[in-house]
Homo-oligomer: A and B are copies of this chain.
């Protein structure tokens, strides 16, 4: 038995998220369908995690087992010929037998893109959140510092999050500006459901002067007491890389 890992890039616009689900087409379903055609038998993928509906990925990692002795290239170029234009394998690798990216992952890098323009941008609309008005970057960066380290992120998860512990380690929250685009790069050991989007929604409230950096410090010091900002919309988020 071989275990293969795929590094996948996808445009999440037209999908109900990564994970198989009854109420919409998922990326997992499409990739498993293409693999089933390639291997002439059903396959179950083990992914490094989920992405929500509308969220993108440049480096989703998914593994599967197969008995077939076909060249590795079949799982990159061969699979790409069977996948739709909005999903692609960027590379395929042999992995230790039974490799599970979810448990093997040691860290993830998410990027959230904000378009801070006076007017909406058609060319940026599918991969950014349009935020009108000035944003105080210095205040956002000060608030971001409170979100790094090993912290209790209970205030930064969605109602449906079933994680047993809400302690996570965030290694860096970096905010970069280039023209009208603002990029928030978040590196961490692991993330609660919607954690990055709630972090970004909260940082934008700080940028607008509606929340203070001290409020954000309070959110992680006293979880569940200080309310979070809104959840930033999905299309600005991209899973850039999973580290092992």
Contacts and interface: CB of A to CB of B under 8 A. Distances in A.
Q: Is the interface of A mostly helix, strand, loop or mixed?
A: mixed
Contact of A11 (B80, B91, B123): B123
A119 B81 CA distance: 11
Interface string A101-122: 0000000000000000001111
A86 interface: yes
A178 to B, nearest CB: 12
A10 B123 CA distance: 6
Indicate how many identical chains form the complex. Answer: 2
Interface in A113-145: 119-123, 125, 127
A12 to B, nearest CB: 9
Interface of A: 9-11, 56, 58, 76-77, 80, 85-91, 119-123, 125, 127, 238
18 contacts: A9-B122, A9-B123, A10-B122, A11-B122, A11-B125, A56-B123, A77-B119, A80-B119, A85-B120, A85-B122, A85-B125, A86-B122, A86-B125, A87-B122, A88-B120, A88-B121, A89-B119, A90-B119
A226 to B, nearest CB: 34
Contacts of A122: 9-11, 85-88
A123 B119 contact: no
Contact of A119 (B76, B121, B127, B238): B76
Contact of A58 (B10, B56, B86, B123): B123
Nearest to A9: B122
Given A85-B125, A90-B119, 5 more contacts: A9-B123, A10-B123, A56-B123, A80-B119, A85-B122
Nearest to A77: B119
**A58, A89, A120, most chain B CB atoms within 10 A:** A120
A238 B123 contact: yes
B11 A88 contact: no
